[in-house]
Structure 1
Amino acid sequence: MTILVTGAAGTIGRNVVEQLVKRGASVRALVRDPAKADFPSGVDVVKGDLLDVDSLRSAFKGVSTLFLLNAVVPDEFTQALIALNTAREAGVDRLVYLSVIHSDVYVNVPHFAGKYGVERMIEKMGFSATILRPAYFISNDVTVKDVVLGYGVYPMPIGAKGLAMVDVRDIGEIAAIELIHRKNATRPLPLERINLVGPDTLTGPDVAAIWSDVLQRPVAYGGDDTAAFEQNLRNFMPGWMAYDMRLMSERFLSDGMVPEAGDVARLTAMLGRPLRSYREFAAGIAASV
């Protein structure tokens, strides 16, 4: 039976597909435009959309297990519920869902609250599911590298509580491991939640210090001005999304994204290797300059 990956054309989805193929799984990738798809040979690429019920019904034929990933969009919750209901209709009861760490804490942040609602529906509908809860993506900071390199400032308002930043490649690999574990189980397994974190919990000054070290010149932390952060984001994203990101950054300041005891050890054991670090990411950027 086949594993269906939604959001397959995105960074995480592509990593999930590649990791599944490496492990010999039968994979179907759901994408909006198959002509632009570039996956390993053997991947069954199908056209579809999480708001297109007919395309989902077709995509679920012959599928045993679902990887559900929703983009941060205004109708994210609706998309997820349609996917869950059509999966159930098709007899698919095993899934891995990509949520977010502290979805039950950041309750005022729209995309966190939406993902927590999806988690609750997965639980209520009785799916055999792993809910993955990743922290802040290290790769998000590709968007600010020019500011770091050009102005010597790390501009993300992440505060002093600390974020356990995670590499998306580690997310993709853990997702693939869990998908195959669910798929191959002789009976449906109980619902499980896994926090996806990196090896270090970093504050704004910590990140600036890493950049200073790898670049061998001073990089300062830009501070905690979330209003300015929102206004800057509005230059290249819709206002609703910029406000959502501001609300998230305010929770960074008040709560952080701190792992639970044992999270790092658990992920390290699952992967059989150390988790990728922010320093590795920054050093890679510095080496390419």
Structure 2
Amino acid sequence: MPEFPSDRVRPPVSVEAMILVTGATGTIGSEVVRQLAARGEKVRAMTRDPAKAQVPEGVEVVRGDFLDSESVTAALAGAAAVFLVAVLGPADGGRDARLVAAARAAGVRRIVKLSSIGTGDPDYGPFGTWHLPGEEALRAGGSEWTILRPSSFASNTLGWAESVHAGRPVPNMTGNGRQGVVDPRDVSEAAVEALTDSRHSRRAYTLTGPEAITVHDQAAAIAAVVGRPVETLDLSPDRIREQLTASGLDAAAAESVLGGLLFAREGGNALVTDDVQEALGRPARSYREWVEDHRGVFVGA
């Protein structure tokens, strides 16, 4: 399979032109597409299966697969700005860097990369290295770039809905460790701002919620909203590893994620920043606010 081209530079296009969103059907990407379209921006959504994509009217949908460099190159054609959601596991960092090179070769002038909290911090173990090649490639180039490093997503607890409906305990992978759980809508909004406003250029934002909370705190927030108790069940490292593997992660990825979870369990991911306020000019949404806005998911039929 050919590598992404890095030596064929096209003339730059205006920053008011096409914005390409990769990962356009995911949690963050789909909301970025929606917000950009609501602003009247010209948006191209890249997805592996365009037939299944549900996007606002006027959004162009194209096929693109990170494992198919030709499809990505075609999706990049004519784009002025791009939102990169690329790393799929510990072995994908090189591909992430090549995506940056491909974007620059296509004449993209503004690149916003979705990274992760702890990137570059050795305390996070292997998980902290996943996004490093892409971040380093961005910093080494001359285009406008912004890096978004979100903490744990509030939406990760959507997987608890079935247990909440059935009155079963929800899984606790991080014990009493606190995390700055962030509303993914804040992450998407920060991405939109960075894609459309050059004042965010050459900034790395660590995006968190307004406070560091535990899984027990999250369960209590859901209980308060649905009006019934929500218990938690602590999982052993071996059980967590089994669940990560069952979700489709290979052994290396599962071990990396497990290391990050255990680091959080020990209190290592309790960082809270004001970067949402800095990027958006307003406070970060709380986890309780996210739950209230998704009440129907947890109340059920």
Instruction: State the TM-score, normalizing by the size of structure 2.
Output: 0.82
Would you say 1:179 and 2:189 are equivalent positions? no
Deviations 1:95-115 (A, max 9, x none): 110001111225654443121
State whether residues 136 and 166 of structure 1, in contact with CA within 8 Å, keep that contact through their aligned partners in structure 2: yes
The 3-state SS of whatever aligns with 1:103 is: coil
Cα–Cα, structure 1 residues 228 and 202, in superposed 2: closer, same or farther, change >3 Å? same
State whether residues 132 and 194 of structure 1, in contact with CA within 8 Å, keep that contact through their aligned partners in structure 2: yes
List aligned pairs for 1:224-243, cutoff 5 A.
Answer: 225-240=236-251, 241-243=253-255
Shift of 1:288: 3.1
> In structure 2, how many angstroms separate the alpha carbons of the residues matched to 1:206 and 1:106?
28
The 3-state SS of whatever aligns with 1:117 is: helix
The 3-state SS of whatever aligns with 1:64 is: strand
Hey, what does 1:112 align to over in structure 2? 128
Hey, what does 1:277 align to over in structure 2? 286
List aligned pairs for 1:181-200, cutoff 5 A.
Answer: 181-182=197-198, 190-200=201-211
State whether residues 277 and 284 of structure 2, in contact with CA within 8 Å, keep that contact through their aligned partners in structure 1: no
Cα–Cα, structure 1 residues 212 and 14, in superposed 2: closer, same or farther, change >3 Å? closer
State whether residues 133 and 194 of structure 1, in contact with CA within 8 Å, keep that contact through their aligned partners in structure 2: yes
Shift of 1:218: 3.7
> In structure 2, how many angstroms separate the alpha carbons of the residues matched to 1:121 and 1:255?
31
Counterpart amino acid of residue 64 in structure 1: A
Would you say 1:140 and 2:151 are equivalent positions? no
List aligned pairs for 1:199-214, cutoff 5 A.
Answer: 199-214=210-225
What is the CA RMSD across the aligned residues, in angstroms? 2.5
Hey, what does 1:56 align to over in structure 2? 72
Hey, what does 2:263 align to over in structure 1? 251
> In structure 1, how many angstroms separate the alpha carbons of the residues matched to 2:206 and 2:261?
19
> In structure 2, how many angstroms separate the alpha carbons of the residues matched to 1:39 and 1:118?
27
State whether residues 211 and 282 of structure 1, in contact with CA within 8 Å, keep that contact through their aligned partners in structure 2: yes
Shift of 1:12: 1.2
Matched residue count: 281
State whether residues 166 and 276 of structure 1, in contact with CA within 8 Å, keep that contact through their aligned partners in structure 2: yes
Q: Which runs of 5+ in 1 are unaligned?
A: none
State whether residues 94 and 133 of structure 2, in contact with CA within 8 Å, keep that contact through their aligned partners in structure 1: no
Counterpart amino acid of residue 118 in structure 1: G
Deviations 1:131-174 (A, max 9, x none): 00111011111112333443542312223341111122221121
Shift of 1:230: 1.4
Deviations 1:182-241 (A, max 9, x none): 3xx7xxx75101111122310233223323433444433423632221123333323424
Counterpart amino acid of residue 194 in structure 1: Y
Q: Which runs of 5+ in 2 are unaligned?
A: 1-16
The sequence identity of aligned pairs, in percent, is: 33
> In structure 2, how many angstroms separate the alpha carbons of the residues matched to 1:275 and 1:227?
34
Shift of 1:83: 1.1
> In structure 1, how many angstroms separate the alpha carbons of the residues matched to 2:204 and 2:88?
21
Hey, what does 1:159 align to over in structure 2? 175
